[in-house]
Structure 1
Amino acid sequence: MMIQIFNILKLTSLVLDACEESFIAAQDKVAKASAKHFADTGLMAMLCRHDRVLWVVNLTSPGEKQFYAYALIERLFAELPKDWHIGVLYDLAGQIQRSMIKWGFLPNLLPRMKFAVSVFHAFGHQWPCQLRGHPRKIEGYGLTDGEGCERYYCI
């Protein structure tokens, strides 16, 4: 089973594990806002290709839990025709894809997705992840940088 996962991802578990450990946002122990004082500890938004907000969810626990991303992806596919495919640009795209394959999350949607790491965040990844997940190196992304969520702010 594990060999199949890494053949699909084309990265070793060592590379994926090192990337996972290097990102502060994904760590449960690091909170940017105290859950003791605030009901919500952050926001996660899904934007379209043109950086327009589609949906926003309130984060209610420290770290960017994967289930928030899965909920947004599932919501998006509920609105799309059944034959559409999408590109998913996310800071931790490799981890999302890895979990979907390993644990069977959203199995009917996985074949309709192509994963890449947002341009700015690609430089925080291990070099194999940069080569495999950079949107400039994956057909279909064009000049999309995936950083709209970083520029998005609530008025």
Structure 2
Amino acid sequence: MDGVFGLCRKKSAGVSVRPPLFSGVFFEEQQAVDEFVADYDTFGQIIDKGCHEFLAGDTLRSKSRYAALDETAVFGSICRHEFPQRFLNMKHGERLAYPVYLLKKAHQNKGDKCLLLLYDIACLLETHLKNRGHLDMLEKTTLGGVPIFHVYGHCAFCQLTYSPRVLTGCGLTDGEAMERLWSYLRRFAKSTKEMRPSHRIDVLTSALLHYMHQEYVLI
């Protein structure tokens, strides 16, 4: 999982007059996401600043940074084989409510299967889930670690605990698949930030479908 703030959308771009043509293909229904985030007690989350001064997950810092934006970023997930999975539009900074939402969705789709999750701040997410009492999610999730290049920005304890190179089941997975996907999607940033919400989702979904096809051809 990861978020990219290069794919924002301006408030001045207007509102949709129709639902997206590709509704539900990759992007979660926005009203459901907004309601979940609004009801989620982000002020009760405990952020471990001892690891690093991360902006991700920090509610207070994300309150007023994006006044001119209607959608601040895209948050999403990708599988180990680099096929896009589920995505959502963010309306704030990278709050922990967003990965929790996608993690819940992943468990609904995968049933009782245990998931191995790689995320830039997996250490903070694991602490957050423990503090919030989400034991059911932790039982079915191995918060596998921090992607191989991001882990060096963490403290020594996190590097020894969350590096993909020390985790059973990771193999040689580097966890940076989302960064490769963002590198591809950023080429659409200038045009999509001026689009209405439904048009933006259609363009990004088309791009994701093309990316998936390219991955399939390579495999």
Give TM-score scaled by structure 2 length.
0.57
Q: Structure 1 residue 118 and structure 2 residue 150: aligned? A: no
Residue in structure 2 matched with residue 94 of structure 1 by the alignment: 123
Structure 1 residues 100, 25: closer, same or farther in 2, change over 3 A?
Answer: closer
User: Does residue 1:58 correspond to 2:86, yes or no?
Assistant: no
Query: Contact 1:55/1:72 (CA < 8 Å) preserved in 2?
Result: yes
Partners of 2:67 and 2:49 lie apart in 1 by 30
Give the number of aligned pairs: 135
Give the Cα–Cα distance (whole angstroms) in 2 for the partners of residues 77 and 26 of structure 1: 21
Is contact 1:91–1:118 with CA below 8 Å preserved after alignment?
yes
Structure 2: how far apart are the matches of 1:110 and 1:29? 26
C-alpha deviation, 1:56, in angstroms: 0.9
Q: 2:89, 2:77 → 1: CA distance?
A: 12
Q: Deviations over 1:57-113 (max 9, x none)?
A: 111012x1011001101111111132x1111100000111111111113x2221121
Tell me which amino acid in the other structure corresponds to 1:53: P
**Could you tell me which residue of structure 2 aligns to residue 47 of structure 1?**
78
Q: CA deviation at 1:148?
A: 1.2
User: CA shift at 1:25, angstroms?
Assistant: 3.5
The SS at the match of 1:18 is coil
Greater relative contact order (Cα 8 A, min sep 6): structure 1 or 2? 2
RMSD: 1.9
Q: 8 Å contact 2:120–2:150 — kept in the other structure?
A: yes
Provide the TM-score with structure 1 as the length reference: 0.79
Structure 1, gaps ≥5 residues long: 1-15
Deviation of the 1:26 alpha carbon = 3.7
Name the CA distance, whole Å, in 2 between partners of 1:99 and 1:36: 27
How far apart are the structure 2 equivalents of 1:24 and 1:69?
A: 15
Q: Which residue of 2 aligns with 1:17?
A: 49
CA distance in 2, matches of 1:23, 1:53: 25
Question: Which residue in the other structure is 1:108 paired with?
Answer: 136
Q: Distance in 2 between matches of 1:132 and 1:123?
A: 12
Shift of 1:27: 3.7
Equivalent residue for 2:213?
Answer: none
The secondary structure found in structure 1 opposite 2:170 is: coil
In structure 2, how many angstroms separate the alpha carbons of the residues matched to 1:67 and 1:24? 14
**Structure 2, gaps ≥5 residues long:** 1-47, 186-206, 208-219
The answer as to whether partners of 2:123 and 2:162 remain within 8 angstroms in 1 is yes
Between the aligned residues of both structures, percent identity stands at 27
- CA-CA distance at 1:151 after TM superposition: 1.3
**CA apart distance, 1:54:** 0.4
Q: One-letter code of the match for 1:122?
A: V
Alignment partner, residue 7 of structure 1? none
Report the CA distance shift for 1:30/1:51 in structure 2 as closer, same or farther (over 3 A): farther
